[in-house]
Chain A
Amino acid sequence: MRDLSPRSPITWMLIALVVGYALILFGLPIVTIVGSAFAKGIDPIVKTFNDPEVQHAILMTFALAGIAVVFNAIAGLITAWVLTRHHFPGKRLLDAMVDIPFVFSPVIAGYAMIVLFGRVGWFAPTLFPIVFALPGILLAKIFVSLPFVTRELQPVLESITPEQEHAAYTMGASRWLTFRRVILPEIWTALLYGLVLTFARAVGEFGAVAVVSGSIQGYTETATSFVFRALNDRNPSGAYSVSLVLMLVSLAILVVLNILKHRLVTRKG
């Protein structure tokens, strides 16, 4: 029962219900924010993006998200590899741990960081501050976006039969070469998919950052905390403009995700 043409009116109603619900839930808000951002013309938007603090916030958000992506990519790849290829006591526990950031409220994560690295924290740092500084924000972004690469890679790695790897080893290929030439070509779509999700999550993070960054303008204020502050400061156009940018980035991410998902599915079929 797949890809049928809708037959009866009831079927059409069902489709209308489903699509309509999504349109109201998503479509309306998107339209509204575009409208609101441009409501007072383009000037407020220009003004917002000329503000050096805003520029810093946006740049810093994307830069730190980028670092988080790289870090989680490498660590996530290793983790996925170890979880699918190795067997050792405690593996199931590690596997379960990967899911925790999904359900660990980011505010709580931020709080944990303060307990650890705050001024009177357990590991209060002496060299450079972590909390209320960029390292703290980076750690928060790493935490919330941690599971994506691992979870996207695991099923693909499982589907690569051991014979391909073993054949490469007997032919003289080192583990690294085997990874590069045999494994990677099979997994890069899933890896990319995970990276994009990681980036999206890292950019959009607010809860942990709200707690941990102190939202010091021009220093530790991220794009998302800027929006929050702008709302409270009765700077709606500022909030809307930056929200618009963030939303456009999200939509672009969505499109990329969809293309990748297509590749993933069609290659399997």
Chain B
Amino acid sequence: MSIRLEHVSKLYGTQSVVRDVSLTVNAGELFVLLGASGSGKSTLLRLIAGLLPADSGTIWLHDQNVTHLPPQQRETGFVFQQYSLFRHMTIAENIAFGLEVRHVGRKEQHKQVQELLDLIGLADLGNRMPAQLSGGQQQRVALARALAYQPRVLLLDEPFGALDVQIRSQLRQNLREIQQRLGVTTILVTHDQEEAFELADRIGILSNGTLLEANTPNELYHAPKTRYTATFLGHANLIPAQRNGTHLYLGDYRLPAPAHTEHLANQAVELLCRPEELELTHTLEEQRGQVVGQGIVTSIAQSGRSVRVGVMLNGQFNETPLNILLPPSRQRELGLQTGQCVWVRVNEYHVLGTQTPL
């Protein structure tokens, strides 16, 4: 079952919260809407669920136009961040509610509830009240409740945002497994980039109410279309360059221009280099990747299992601070110290036009 949005917009007063968003989610896909707070992602999710009416555009769930339908009729499962379990009903009653609404028989209800409780790993807790459960358990119940009536789509609004870090990781795993097992089309909204990468088949980047781009995590990370995306998803080293002919020129050095960048011919561009794709050498002769220039080491620090090296790159007209991740073995080889002059080189790189908005 697929989800399709066409030119959906929503205003609060005169402020545009969702601007002209069009996107398609494929059947069985786990799509993550990633954006900072205030980007409109929660609003967009509520528009899909029908909890808010769209001001313009159309929303299709399974080739049915649901734009003007109230939430009751859209057959979506919604998991809120918190406070959504019915406080005065037991866990089992909570989960069974959607079945009750659809007039499923008592015995059948009981059976399905038990299956779901097993699925979320809370098999014996059916008779507890929500207040007796931990935050993580409550969210699992919320998930089971939303899935109980086999909705067309599953919508999750920052479901793990209110939980401890350790629990989040566990629940992400659970969610992924359940989603894949059931094959339900899912949209999850989050501001956590790590979460997005861990869960998503595809990610949509939302900024200021606009959907900037949507792609697989890998593509977005290595070949983003916008500067915003590049900087949002982890450290982005952006080095100014000029694209002429078939090369990129950075001062005295040049690199072959990647394919499909002809539209940026004769323009000032930016080279996107991820910290793990940059290399450092003491000499020009050492063959490691393509040279982009020379720089001074400004900082060296431990970062997890790697070493993070800050280098100020000397450019033609200005300096660019770089953030480089080296394996510890490499740092031992180089013996880098701050203040040293090094050659900066790159293995993989991507090109962004500077005319791109944001």
Contacts and interface: CB of A to CB of B under 8 A. Distances in A.
A and B touch in the complex (CB under 8 A): yes
Interface stretch (A101-109, A147-155, A171-179): A171-179
B88 A170 contact: no
B97 interface: yes
A167 B80 contact: yes
Interface in B58-116: 70-78, 80, 82-88, 97-98, 101-102
Contact of B101 (A177, A185, A186): A177
Contact of A172 (B49, B75, B83, B86): B75
Nearest to A186: B88
A172 B149 contact: yes
B51 A182 contact: no
A163 interface: yes
A170 B86 contact: no
A164 B101 CA distance: 15
B162 to A, nearest CB: 12
B163 to A, nearest CB: 16
A164 to B, nearest CB: 6
A172 B98 contact: yes
B145 interface: yes
Most chain B CB atoms below 10 A, which of A166, A167, A169? A167
Given A171-B98, A172-B101, A164 B70 contact: no
A50 interface: no
A173 B84 contact: no
Contacts of B71: 166, 169-170
A161 interface: yes
A115 B80 CA distance: 55
Contact of B72 (A172, A181, A186): A172
Contacts, number: 68
A186 B87 CA distance: 8
Interface residues of A, number: 17
Contacts of B97: 168, 171, 173, 181
B82 A170 contact: no
A135 to B, nearest CB: 40
B84 A163 contact: yes
A69 B29 CA distance: 55
Interface residues of B, number: 29
Interface string B140-172: 001001100100000100000000000000000
Nearest to A178: B72
Contacts of A177: 101
Contacts of B83: 161, 163-164
A99 B128 CA distance: 41
B72 A173 contact: yes
Contacts of A168: 86, 97
B77 to A, nearest CB: 7
Most buried by B among A168, A172, A177, A181: A172
Contacts of B49: 166, 170
Which of A163, A171, A185 is most buried by chain B, counting CB atoms within 10 A of its CB? A171
Most chain A CB within 10 A, of B76, B80, B149, is at: B80
Contacts of B87: 164, 186
A166 B84 CA distance: 8
B47 to A, nearest CB: 13
A164 B97 CA distance: 12
A170 B77 CA distance: 6
Contacts of A174: 72
Interface string A86-110: 0000000000000000000000000
Contacts of B101: 171-173, 177
B131 to A, nearest CB: 11
Nearest to A170: B78
A172 B49 CA distance: 11
Contacts of A171: 77, 97-98, 101, 145-146, 149
B70 A167 contact: no
B145 A170 contact: no
A164 B85 contact: yes
A180 to B, nearest CB: 12
Given A161-B83, A163-B83, A172-B101, A185 B88 contact: yes
Interface in A156-202: 161, 163-164, 166-174, 177, 181-182, 185-186
Contacts of B145: 167, 171
A39 B203 CA distance: 87
Nearest to B102: A172
A167 B143 CA distance: 11
A172 B73 CA distance: 6
A169 B146 CA distance: 11
Contacts of A181: 86, 97
Contacts of A163: 80, 82-84
Contacts of A182: 86
B252 to A, nearest CB: 60
Nearest to B49: A170
Given A167-B78, A172-B72, A172-B73, 17 more contacts: A163-B83, A164-B85, A164-B86, A166-B71, A166-B78, A167-B80, A167-B85, A167-B142, A168-B86, A169-B71, A170-B72, A170-B76, A171-B146, A171-B149, A172-B101, A173-B101, A186-B88
Q: Which 10 A-B pairs have the closest CB atoms?
A: A163-B84, A171-B98, A170-B78, A161-B83, A169-B71, A167-B84, A163-B80, A185-B88, A172-B101, A163-B83
25 contacts: A163-B80, A163-B82, A163-B83, A163-B84, A164-B83, A164-B85, A164-B86, A166-B71, A167-B78, A167-B86, A167-B145, A167-B146, A169-B50, A169-B70, A169-B72, A170-B72, A170-B74, A170-B76, A170-B155, A171-B77, A171-B149, A172-B75, A172-B102, A173-B97, A177-B101
